[in-house]
Amino acid sequence: MAKEFASKADLGEKEISFVELGKGCYGYTAEGDPNSGVIIGDDYVMVIEAQATPRMAKDVIAKIRSVTDKPIKYLVLTHYHAVRVLGASEYGVDEIIMSQKTNEMVEERGAQDWKSEFERFPRLFRGHESIPGLTHPTMIFEDKLTIELGNKKVEIMHVGEGHTKGDSIVWVPDEKVMFAGDLVEYGATPYCGDAQLKNWPATLQKLSDFKPKALVPGRGEALKNEVECQEAILMTSEYVTMLYQEALLSVTRGETLKQCYDALMKNMSPRFGEWVIFEHCMPFNVTRAYDEASGIDHPRIWTDERDVAMWNELNS
């Protein structure tokens, strides 16, 4: 029997948690589904990650309104993936913030990514008919941008490549709280289909050097102390390092993509197989690792047609 494509069969609802991690800093988490973050200052509110649809964004807003009635002025999108950005219209913010490299990826492949992600994981696009179109920034930065929310300074930084070429983190220095986007996961498999795998570990080391006291990962529960933060960074680094190094060995041996995939599933499942969306991510991750190890530095664009062809090839 053919293996069900990606996460089409994943229809179960997840329990939402909304946890304060420092004064005015909250993690919105969903048992391994995509997370969001919230920062509340004396004057304004900032949201990190929009969710996939306006309908899903409504729940983030409801959680915010349970603790403050201050205006939501800023929305930070740490990278371009559809499950993170397409709910943006619901917030009615003054500014939508992206890095320059993330904006480039929206322009290059945002439309294809939207269709591709929807076909892979339809449950994450509840209310998809309410999406008005691609999300474009109103404010773009290159390396660093500082925003004042009223007695709370927020630093938005592109410190290096990893999950994508344009990843941003959001740092609240007074609280030492970090919103890491999908650069860091916790108990969830990093998606690497658009990754810069050779650069990702060095970027994670930079995050580690901040010594965060709390951290909201892209997926997984919010981390509430320094040990958990470092553990999540280390585990993510271990995964992406093994993925690339094993793929590089396979390419060097002259193996096919299918041979590479079978070997990595055998070697990585004992260590990482219990992580959320492991079976979903591995075909995409191994394909990208194989490409990068073969000298393809800029990730190829995923389309729904390419997704299905790859899935069928590797799971045959």
One DSSP character per residue, 133-200 reads S----SEEESSEEEEE-SS-EEEEE----SSSTT--EEEETTTTEEEEETT--SSBPPP-TT--TTTH
Residue 170 backbone class (left: φ over 0; alpha: ψ -120 to 50; beta: rest) = beta
Domain assignment of residue 90, given as a range: 6-225
Query: Residue 4 carries which side chain, given as an amino acid letter?
Result: E
Domain count, the chain: 1
Q: What angle do CA 305, 266, 182 make, to 5 degrees?
A: 55
Examine residue 207 and state whether it is found in any structural domain, yes or no.
yes
Give the pLDDT of residue 3: 63
Asked if the structure places residue 251 within a domain, the reply is: no
- Phi/psi at 217 (5° precision): -80, 175
At 154, give phi and psi (nearest 5°). Answer: -125, 130
Residue 97 covered by a domain: yes
| pLDDT number for residue 167 | 98
Nearest-angstrom CA–CA distance, 185 and 244: 17
The reported pLDDT for the residue numbered 109 is 97
Q: CA 167, CA 202: separation in Å to the nearest integer?
A: 13
> What pLDDT, on the 0 to 100 scale, is given for residue 51?
97
Instruction: Name residues whose C-beta falls within 8 Å of residue 219's C-beta, 6 or more positions apart in sequence.
Output: 32, 33, 34, 35, 182, 185, 186, 188, 276, 277
- Domain annotation covers residue 53: yes
Quick check: is 211 in a domain?
yes
* 135 within domain boundaries: yes
Residue 93 domain-assigned? Answer: yes
> What is the predicted pLDDT for the residue at 9?
54
Hunting for tokens 């260590």 — which residue is that? 271
Q: Identify the CATH number of the domain in which residue 115 sits.
A: 3.60.15.10
Is the residue at 192 inside a domain?
A: yes
CA distance 17 to 10: 20
Give the pLDDT of the chain (316 residues) as one tens digit per residue: 346 654 455 557 889 999 999 999 999 999 889 999 999 999 999 999 999 999 999 999 999 999 999 999 999 999 999 999 999 999 999 999 999 999 999 999 999 999 999 999 898 999 999 999 999 999 999 999 999 999 999 999 999 999 999 999 999 999 999 999 999 999 999 999 999 999 999 999 999 999 999 999 999 999 999 999 999 999 999 999 999 999 999 999 999 999 999 999 999 999 999 999 999 999 999 999 999 999 999 999 999 999 999 999 999 8
> How many CB atoms are located within 10 Å of the residue 107 CB?
12
